[in-house]
Amino acid sequence: MTDSANTPEPAAEQSLLRRLRWYLAIAVVAAVVVIELIVSGGGSDDDDGDAATGDTTPPAAEEPADEPMDDDATGDAATGDTASPAAEEPADEPMDDAAEATEPADEAPAATDGDTAAAEPAEPAEPAEPEFPGVGSEAALANPHCDPETGNIRVPLVDAPPCVVEWPEGADNGGNTAPGVTATEIVMVLRVDAGQTELLSDVGSIPRGWLDGADIFNQNFELWGRQVRLEFIDASGSTEVAQRADATRAVNDFQPFLAFDATTSGEGKAIFEAEMAARGVIVWSTGVSWQETQDQPGFRWSALADDRVTMLHVAEYIGKRVADYPVQWAGDDDMIGEPRRIGMIYTDRWSRDFMEEQAAQNGFELVEAVSYDENAENTQRQERARVIAARMKDADVTTVIAGTDNLFTRTITEAATEQQWFPEWIITGHSGQDTAFFARIYDQQQWAHAFGPGPLGVFVADQPNALAAFFEWHHGREPVSLSERFSLSSLKTPFACIHMAGPDLTPESFTQGCFALPPSYGSYCDCITTPGAAFGEGRLPWTDYTGFDDMAEKWWDPEFERTTATGRVVVGEYMKVDNGRRYAVGEWTAEEPRVFDPDAAIGFLEEFPPNDTPPSYER
């Protein structure tokens, strides 16, 4: 850990494209939302909605758009879904054999005045070598970078990693402990949109944003005598052949320890990520499936929830709060009062078999379930949506689980209206679905009847975002690009895992470092602005490598209005029930939903609650 940044302050921001076409704009917003969500619950006048989650992409290089974003970030990236145990208290020091009290065999005669010979002094004991990382030890708490009152390092983050023993300058960290690791560096490769590698020094570019973000963690987290060095490769295309070629090039050129796919312009990433992991490179992602984490354990990670965590929440919520009650909030009056017939529309990334198993365990069944291809072209998605809506209507589905990403939710709600099918919609939060910015573009005749669980918390209006404040705390300036913000949310957890891994850095110690991170945010601290997260064993039926453990109950109010500090009127908001209370898997209470009642929900906060407020430190 060092005390000063090694990255020069950027020059004046260059003028970039201010207007993007629709889908690129969506991708940019999704990324920002993920950032805000993964790091904080605040929002400025320029982003006053909820944050996105799921398989959204990082932002393209750009200046802030002329029109401010409608979404506030809520939530912090959090660490994965099952927490490892907190650092153990150091065990009592074993008593030295020589120090044990025993009866002397022969007592030495007492010294007399005439005795002149003095006993020779004992040899001083060699000081014990410190153990690293040493979480919870006196040495860790004495680290000058530690706040002994919190037990965390002195950075303005609610989920700052625990204090560790200070690394002595020049000490032996083992050198080349793994591919991509030397005595001084840890190599991380980022795959970016074609042409971006030429913009390393350009303010607003994706590479520059990542470099600025990495500098913060390089200087403030303990990396055991090393620094993370970022390398970039341009994506050569979206085909399977292109993605495999990019992975081969990344490994051959840089031999990285870590990898992240930061493409934004539509290049596929699933094959690239799988290929990198197969080559022994740890991949951090904006979204990974449960199956991928189990097929390549320890090499596939995400700060966002995987599909099965989402399905566990949805099935439990429906079983305890929906299935046994008659229809109440459908858009079709003929459905009101009828027994609920539950269907599911889901991305092909989900497992229908798993959801049906969970439905059975929670006392209900799916009368219809239809999937769609999340990677299909827009025209194909529109046609598929018409087929799905017709099938759901023919099956007399009254209440439909929307296991749909933020773009397809718009497509399917429009198709439902075309088919004159107006059911209740169960929110799942998949891929940023419960982000207010996206919800405002869904068909409002349909989404006005949407309620259910979602990962995003209560946002704080017109307040600096926590990660943006962290950026300013370190660099002395506000972030000037979306990439700078996104890099913080994406890098924070892998850097924290290295911080907890100790000097002998390998894929195995990285995994143990992630598992050792204390559970943070959400239900773990009675926080409401950011999802709770932890990695490892004990909280789910499997070893967990993804984040966003808990959810809040919410409903969509298309008529909710508020005016930002700049005078802009925002219409439509997710209303969070019970002051944004969050539930972990297994904690949902059995009661009828308290949705569509403005007196029982909040849309936003004006300041951070005490438990969600980051500590304040001088730089």
Query: Model confidence at 41, in pLDDT bands (50, 70, 90)?
Result: low
- 66 pLDDT above the threshold of 90: no
| 35 Cβ contact list (under 8 Å, min separation 6) | 51, 73, 465, 467, 482, 485, 486, 488, 489, 490
Q: Which among 53-62, 79-88, 588-597 has the top mean pLDDT? A: 588-597
* pLDDT digits 0-9 by tens, 191-237: 999 998 888 778 778 899 999 999 999 999 999 999 999 999 999 99
pTM: 0.81
- 261 pLDDT above the threshold of 90: yes
DSSP string, 138-179: HHHHTSTTEETTTTEESSS-TTPPBP-PPPPTT----SS-ST
- 24 pLDDT above the threshold of 70: no
Say if residues 548 and 305 touch (Cβ distance below 8 Å): yes
Say which residue the tokens 């969970």 belong to: 358
Nearest to 29 by CA among 379, 486, 404: 486
Structure confidence at residue 95 (pLDDT): 38
Give all domains of the chain, ordered by start, each with its CATH number.
308-454 (3.40.50.2300)
Structure confidence at residue 201 (pLDDT): 76
290 or 57, greater pLDDT? 290
Q: Which among 47-56, 59-68, 515-524 has the top mean pLDDT? A: 515-524
State the amino acid at position 285 in one-letter form. S
Q: How far apart are CA 455 and CA 467, in angstroms?
A: 19
- 121 pLDDT above the threshold of 70: no
Which strand (E) or helix (H) includes residue 27?
helix 22-39
Nearest to 331 by CA among 30, 62, 596, 38: 596
Instruction: Compute the mean pLDDT over every residue in the chain, rounded to the nearest whole number.
Output: 84
Q: Which among 102-106, 458-462, 585-589 has the top mean pLDDT? A: 585-589
**Range with the poorest average pLDDT among 375-389, 476-490, 584-598:** 476-490
Classify residue 596 by burial, with Cβ atoms within 10 Å: 0-12, 13-18, 19+: middle
